[in-house]
Amino acid sequence: MIYINGIHVDLSNRDEKYQFAKVIKDYHKTIDELRYKHGESVLFMSIYRPRLDAVTKNRRPHKPITISYVSNISTKEDGAQKWVYSPEGATIKDGIATPTESCYIMKRGSSTFNLIEEAEFVYYLTKTGKFQRKKIFIYDENEKQDEVAAKREQEVKLSKAIYDEESPLNNMETIKEVARKWGVSGMDTMKINTIKNILYSKIEDAEKQKVNGITKNGLDAFLSDINQGAAVVVGGDIQLAIEKGLLSFNKVSNEWLLVVEEGQDPWSIMHVDGVDTPNSKEVLARYLQRNVVDSERLSMVVSGNAKIVKGKIVEGAPVDVDIEIALLNAGNIMDEKDYALLQKAYGHHGLGKAIGVKRDILKKGLLEFFEAQPK
C-alpha cells in the first residue's frame, strides 16, 4: 500500500476529482508501459556487480542495496511529499504513516517483481531516490541491444565522415577549419592523418558529454560542420582567436572579451548567463552565427585587419599605439597635464583636429570617448 503525506492512496480510484488523480494516472501509465515491454514481471538490477577479492581471488558477493519504505519526493506541481510503502496497512498517527517494515533489501544484485501482484511496490520503486539516481534500474535486454547497435552505428558514421575517401576532410584547409572549431590546436606541423585521429577522439568525447547532458554539440553537429556551414567558419575563428590570445572568457564578469589593438581595452562581445557558463564557448558560437556583424568583426581581428576608430571596430591595419596614449583612460585623463600628449590622443582616437583646441576641451572629449567604450 502507498501513502502520501499520511493518507492512503486508493490506486483503483479513477475519479478525476480525487485528490491523488495525477498519481493514479501516472501509476496506471507506468505499469501499463512496463507490462507492454516486459510482460508479467520486471527485473530490477543494482549497479553494483560482484568483485574478485584482491587477496583471496574469490568472488565477493553482491553489495546489498537497502531501499527505505519512506521516501521524500518533490514535484513541480505538488511540492515536497512524503511517500510511504507498506507491505501491509501502515500505522497512522498524527498524520504520519509508519510502514509495517522499514525497508526492502536487494541482496543478490537483482530482484524480480510480478507486475500484477506487486504492481504497487514496483511503482513505488520507480519513485525512490535509488531509482532516480540510477543506483537500481530496470533491466531490458532489447534496450541494451538497441544501445549497442546505436553506439556501433555512431562509430561507423564518425569513421566514414573522417576517413572515407569521399570525405571533404581529405582537404587540408577544410579539415583545419573544422578541427579548429572542435578545439584542435597546434596543427601547423601536423600531417592530415594526425589531425584526423585527434579530431576523431574529440568528437567521441563530445558525443559522450552530450549523452551525459554536459554539452549540446555531438556527432550530429560535427556531421553538419563538415559541409562547411557558417558554424565551421565561426568555430574556427573562435579557436584561432583563443590560440592567438586575442579572445578570452572573463569568469568574473561572464563576458567574452576581444583584443582588437594592442594596448587598448578589450572589446566585450557578449555576456553569458550564469547557468550557461560551463558551455560559454558554444553560447558564443551560436551568438556569432546569429549576429553576422560581430562574426565579421571577429574574422577581421583574427586576420589582423581590424582597428578601432571612434569606438567602433572597422576594417584596416591596426595603428601602432604610443604606450603613453595606451595608458590614458577615463580614470586619469582629467589629471593629464601634457598638452602635446592630449593632442596626440585626441587625434589617435579619431576625435577630430587637435591643433588650437583648448586643454579642457581635449580632456572633456577624451573623457566622453573613454566612457562610451564597451565595458
Helix-then-strand count for the chain, H and E: 13, 16
Bridge partners, 46 (sequence order): 136
> Residue 233 has what pLDDT?
63
Task: Give the burial class of 352: count Cβ atoms within 10 A of its Cβ; 0-12 exposed, 13-18 middle, 19 or more buried.
Answer: exposed
- Asked if residue 66 lies in contact with residue 105, where contact means CB atoms within 8 angstroms, the answer is yes
> Residue 219 has what pLDDT?
80
139 vs 43: CA distance, rounded Å: 6
128 vs 70: CA distance, rounded Å: 9
Q: Which three cell numbers stand for residue 148?
A: 549497442
Average pLDDT over residues 266-272: 85
Residue in 19, 3, 7 with CA at minimum distance from that of residue 95: 7
Q: Which three cell numbers stand for residue 145?
A: 541491444
Confidence class of residue 309 from pLDDT cuts 50, 70 and 90? low
Question: What string of DSSP letters covers 34-96?
Answer: HHHHHTTEEEEEESPPP-B-TTT-PBPPPPPEEEESEEEEEETTTEEEEEEE-SSPPEEETTE
In angstroms, how far is CA 245 from the centroid of its own chain?
A: 24
- Calculate the dihedral angle through the C-alpha atoms of 259, 264, 269, 275, rounding to the nearest 10 degrees: 90
89 vs 102: CA distance, rounded Å: 13
The tally of CA atoms less than 13 A away on the side-chain side of residue 191 is 1
**Which amino acid is present at 80?**
A
Q: What percent of the chain stands above pLDDT 90?
A: 27
With a cut of 60, say whether residue 229 has pLDDT above it: no
According to the per-residue pLDDT averaged within each range, which of 197-206, 275-284, 307-316 is highest?
197-206
Average pLDDT over residues 242-271: 82
Q: How many CB atoms lie within 10 A of CB 44?
A: 21
With a cut of 80, say whether residue 94 has pLDDT above it: yes
- Asked if residue 84 lies in contact with residue 97, where contact means CB atoms within 8 angstroms, the answer is yes
> Residue 252 has what pLDDT?
82
126 vs 131: CA distance, rounded Å: 6
Residue in 172, 224, 173 with CA at minimum distance from that of residue 203: 224
Kindly calculate the radius of gyration of the chain based on its CA atoms and give it in whole angstroms.
32
With a cut of 80, say whether residue 26 has pLDDT above it: yes
Residue in 312, 307, 349 with CA at minimum distance from that of residue 328: 349
- Asked if residue 109 lies in contact with residue 62, where contact means CB atoms within 8 angstroms, the answer is yes
With a cut of 80, say whether residue 109 has pLDDT above it: yes
278 vs 340: CA distance, rounded Å: 47
Q: What is the pTM of this model?
A: 0.43
| Residues belonging to the chain | 375
Question: What string of DSSP letters covers 112-131?
Answer: EEETTTTHHHHHHHHHSHHH
With a cut of 60, say whether residue 161 has pLDDT above it: yes
> Residue 308 has what pLDDT?
62
- Helix %, strand %, coil % of the chain (to 5): 45, 20, 35
Question: In terms of DSSP H, where are the helices of the chain?
Answer: 21-38, 119-127, 129-132, 141-163, 172-181, 192-211, 219-225, 230-243, 280-290, 292-302, 323-326, 339-348, 359-371
**Which strand (E) or helix (H) includes residue 267?**
strand 267-271
The residues near 21 (Cβ < 8 Å, ≥ 6 apart) are 14, 15
SS3 category, 344: helix
> Residue 24 has what pLDDT?
94
Instruction: List phi, psi (to 5°) of 142.
Output: -65, -40
Computed over every residue of the chain, the mean pLDDT equals: 83
The more confident residue out of 306 and 266 is 266
